Amino acid sequence: MEKVDIGKKVLSANEAYALKNSQLLAQHGTPCFNLISSPGSGKTTLLVRTITDLTGTLRIGVIEGDIQTDIDAQRIRAAKAPAVQINTEGGCHLSAAQVSRALKELPLDRLDMVLIENVGNLVCPAAFELGEHGKIVVLSVPEGDDKPAKYPGIFAKSRVLLINKIDLLQGGAQVDFDLQRAKVDARRLNKSIEIFPVSAKTGEGMQDWYAWLTGQIRR
């Protein structure tokens, strides 16, 4: 019987792909962000609006992750941006290897930025680095203001928190959501997190998000 110290990272295979992805993106000078949220938070609607409103300012390519269908990639292409759909067929998160294959299909030379829409899930995607420059967590108002407290991992690791569907907070409050509580809980986990309350439907608050996003391409 022999005990051997290994000290090897369990996800080292994923990290090797993530490193390759970040090197490829750096070669092209293309920043990349990984959008993570629950299913139904409005990630695709947010992307479509962002792409449309920033037409002529920022050329965005999208990698879409879903268990099934290419519905999301079709919506992105309809907004006239290149999109690659990954179907994980049951997988609860995107892996760096999947993103590596998708990056090869994007015209990186003609893009200013790549946005990855991860599989809808607040837990698993947080554990897998994709080679991105930062994670962006999207929380929508109907999900409840307690999500930062309940799912600390993703809020602790993200550079940006987009609080979407704030149009539901107006006109007699259709949902109970304490914006302040969500912000305080998120900042408690992550002092430097940038928080943008937005409505991808009405466009409210989107300008601040666009300013942050376009600010990333001069880095």
**Interface with another protein by CB under 8 A: which residues?**
1-14, 91-93, 95, 123-124, 126-128, 149, 152-153, 156-157, 188-191
Q: Which residue is it, tokens 């680095």?
A: 129
Beta carbon of residue 72, minimum distance to another protein (angstroms, whole number): 21
Beta carbon of residue 36, minimum distance to another protein (angstroms, whole number): 12
Beta carbon of residue 91, minimum distance to another protein (angstroms, whole number): 8
Going by C-alpha positions, the residue among 98, 33, 91 that lies closest to residue 62 is 33
Q: Specify the residue, 91 or 142, whose C-beta has the smaller distance to another protein.
A: 91
Cβ–Cβ < 8 Å for 34, 116: yes
What DSSP designation does 31 have? Answer: -
Give residue 69's identity as a one-letter amino acid code: T
Cβ–Cβ < 8 Å for 126, 157: yes
Beta carbon of residue 41, minimum distance to another protein (angstroms, whole number): 19
Q: Specify the residue, 151 or 209, whose C-beta has the smaller distance to another protein.
A: 151
Q: Which residue is it, tokens 């999109």?
A: 83
Q: Specify the residue, 4 or 80, whose C-beta has the smaller distance to another protein.
A: 4
Q: Specify the residue, 133 or 188, whose C-beta has the smaller distance to another protein.
A: 188
Q: Specify the residue, 96 or 106, whose C-beta has the smaller distance to another protein.
A: 96
Q: Which residue is it, tokens 């990855």?
A: 116
Where does residue 206 fall: left (phi above 0), alpha (psi -120 to 50 degrees), or beta otherwise? Answer: alpha
Beta carbon of residue 3, minimum distance to another protein (angstroms, whole number): 5
